[in-house]
Amino acid sequence: MNVKTLNFRPILYLLFTVIGGSQSKELARKIASKLDCKYVDSKITIFPDGESKITLPETLTGTVVVVQTTYPHADTNMMRALALIAKAKKTASRVIAVIPYLCYMRQDMEFLPGEIVTSKMVAKLLGATGAAKIITVDIHSNLAVNYFDVPLVNTSAIPKMAGYFRKLDLKCPMIISPDLFWSKKAKQFAEMLGAEQIALNKQRDRKTGKLKILHQKNLDLSGRDVVLIDDMISTGNSMILAARYAKSCYCRRIFAVCTHPLLVDNAEKRLMDADIDKIISSNTIEHKTNQVDVSDIIAQSIE
């Protein structure tokens, strides 16, 4: 039963405290406000060698919700998330870890001999450190979901993304996912908009990282808006390839949408240079492209 349907919900959430980790303070505050519960800020100082020293200003009891995304930078912020969980676990009755962008989920198998399945290690670490439950948004790998020993709730930004686009005056939109991998979610998104959808067959050379699109027949998209959608934009290379394809089909405007805006280095500029009109992301990672707030989706999973 969903606690939100019960009358005692406000009383239940009195026993909750939301902690804002260094990378997710704004989102954490929004989650606390949605739950109508206490918010506590974590404090951080960085040692000259790069180590993070994190302090919580008070002893936490009841259920503690740690909110810490893991970018930028992935390793550092995963370490900070683990430290916060471990500290909260010492005094809390239960720790829920909200990791809106969960890093390492792309490394979910040994693609080339000698590689490490780091997503499995991360999954085990989060549970072993004390998280009783983990909540994330649009996890990259369905395979990695099986690596967690504690319950994992994989929420999705897709309905909120669709809500955002419904308000735009799109002209006969075509939804394109840059690879087959994300096509199921892209299809969901397209259905919510009542739009057509296709997926490109993107291939990545596992050694060089180089991308190419295989056998895509050219469509006539003249006068039509295109929405490129993926779980994350990292270097931007996948979106740029997809944008080139869309342009070759004579489309009108191009929107690039993702749940997780990693946007490393000059990715944003490169996307603009590739004729992408607008980048839209959710706030799983704080970035100026954030247009879609997932705090309510996360709050609904906290019980």
**Rule CB under 6 A: which residues touch ligand R5P?**
178-179, 181-182, 230-238
CA-wise closest residue to 286 among 83, 25, 31: 25
CB of 283 to ligand R5P, least distance (A): 18
Nearer to ligand R5P, 63 or 238 (CB): 238
Q: Which of 89, 202, 210, 212 is catalytic?
A: 202
Name residue 225's amino acid.
D
Catalytic residue flag (residue 202): yes
Cα–Cα distance list, 283 to 54, 163, 254 (Å): 23, 15, 21
CA-wise closest residue to 258 among 126, 100, 115: 100
CB of 16 to ligand R5P, least distance (A): 33
CA-wise closest residue to 239 among 251, 217, 254, 223: 254
Nearer to ligand R5P, 230 or 268 (CB): 230
Q: Kindly give the interhelix angle for 158-166 and 183-193, rounded to the nearest 10 degrees.
A: 40
Nearer to ligand R5P, 66 or 228 (CB): 228
Nearer to ligand R5P, 237 or 281 (CB): 237
CB of 279 to ligand R5P, least distance (A): 11
Task: State CA 94 to chain mean position distance.
Answer: 24
Measured CA to CA, the distance from residue 39 to residue 169 in angstroms comes to: 38
Nearer to ligand R5P, 231 or 268 (CB): 231
Cβ-based burial of 26 (10 A; exposed 0-12, middle 13-18, buried ≥19): middle
The single residue listed with the structure tokens 């808006």 is: 225
The single residue listed with the structure tokens 């996890």 is: 139
CB of 204 to ligand R5P, least distance (A): 8
Cβ-based burial of 208 (10 A; exposed 0-12, middle 13-18, buried ≥19): exposed
Measured CA to CA, the distance from residue 154 to residue 148 in angstroms comes to: 12
CB of 116 to ligand R5P, least distance (A): 18
Active site residues: 202
